[in-house]
Amino acid sequence: MAAHVANRKAQMEVSMLVRDPAVCRSINENHFNYKYFPEHKLPENVTATSDAKTALLGADYCLHAVPVQFSTSFLEGIAEHVDPGLPFISLSKGLELNTLRMMSQIIPQALKNPRQPFSALSGPSFALELMNKLPTAMVVASKDKKLAHAVQQLLSCSHLRISTSSISITAAAPHIRLLFFCSCDEVVTPDNLRDVTGVEIAGALKNVLAIAAGIVEGMNLGNNSMAALVAQGCSEIRWLATKMGGKPATITGLSGTGDIMLTCFVNLSRNKRVGVRLGSGEELEDILSSMNQVAEGVSTAGAVIALAQKYNVKMPVLTAVARIIDSELTPKKAVLELMSLPQVIQTP
């Protein structure tokens, strides 16, 4: 996303706050991130720093991409440098394991500012394809309509559509300074424009569903079972999101069905790859230790059972993933359990 925004306007200052000094040097000296996308040169107007105060000074927007499980401690550590009016654009998808909080709750609470401007960006968007400037469509949701529109104007370009509601697109102002922590139209009404809950729940739980889809593939259960499982998982996500106050239309849009299809059916997905390896018989500990990026679905799965109980929603597919991850259930037994569920009458 830093590369994307910097490419839009050469005059923009885009600062990345990174932890690794070697990555910081690699970006500043060679304009490459040697750990991730080492073959993609970053724009000249992208700089990196490990100092939060320097990164945040004068920032007009902050794009937050820290994994959910580490966001609270990270934000608490930089809170003194965050301007209370700095708008946050959350790219992180997941639920905090022990508290069940979404990013829309984590960010203002960790910064001790309930009025911290917040928006959530979601949708079917593999980072590699964005880096290669392939056509992509996403959706931004915020309770602040003006902020949602501002994010749309900031990020939209010829190969990236950002849906909110119907407005004209103008070029972002060249003086904006940004900070990064690192198809078809969706019909967006004023209600689901502000449906932060729907966007965040869909973005979090699609990662859990992707693990389930991977398990099906790893066990070689075929296309029929894959389609049935993903359809059931979509329903479970919709049931829970609706109970939590989300809009059904959000779940059938880009940030719901769109993101679910991409994550469940394409092997670029980290979460799906975890599922494939689980279904093939590997141990979770070995899988995670071999990865250099976070598969958010593993942690988020732990919150699914608690949410299902709290909102009294039956979620057999997603809770089965949580039980597999907790070693309470093997993939083979999970399949037998799901196939033994009571037959139901399909309702419209």
In angstroms, rounded to a whole number, what is the distance separating the alpha carbons of residues 44 and 12? 10
Within 13 Å and on the Cβ side, how many CA atoms surround 27? 26
Residue of 206, 272, 310, 314 with catalytic role: 206
**Rounded Cα–Cα distance for residues 54 and 134 (Å):** 33
SS (H, E, C) the chain: CHHHHHHHCCCCEEEEECCCHHHHHHHHHHCCCCCCCCCCCCCCCEEEECCHHHHHCCCCEEEECCCHHHHHHHHHHHHHHCCCCCCEEECCCCCCCCCCCCHHHHHHHHCCCCCCCEEEEECCCCHHHHHCCCCEEEEEECCCHHHHHHHHHHHCECCEEEECCCCCCCCCCCCCEEEEECCCCCCCCHHHHCCHHHHHHHHHHHHHHHHHHHHHHHCCCCHHHHHHHHHHHHHHHHHHHHHCCCCHHHHCCHHHHHHHHHHHHCCCCHHHHHHHHHHCCCCHHHHHHCCCCCCHHHHHHHHHHHHHHHCCCCCHHHHHHHHHHCCCCCHHHHHHHHHCCCCCCCCC
Report in angstroms the alpha-carbon separations of 51 from 77, 90, 226, 298.
11, 20, 46, 30
Indicate the residue type of 48. A
Q: Residues annotated as binding site for substrate?
A: 93, 270-271
Q: Which residues are annotated as a binding site?
A: 70, 93, 127, 270-271
- Binding-site residues for NAD(+), please? 70, 127, 270
Determine whether 272 is an active site residue: no
Looking up tokens 């593939």 gives 217
Catalytic residue ranges: 206
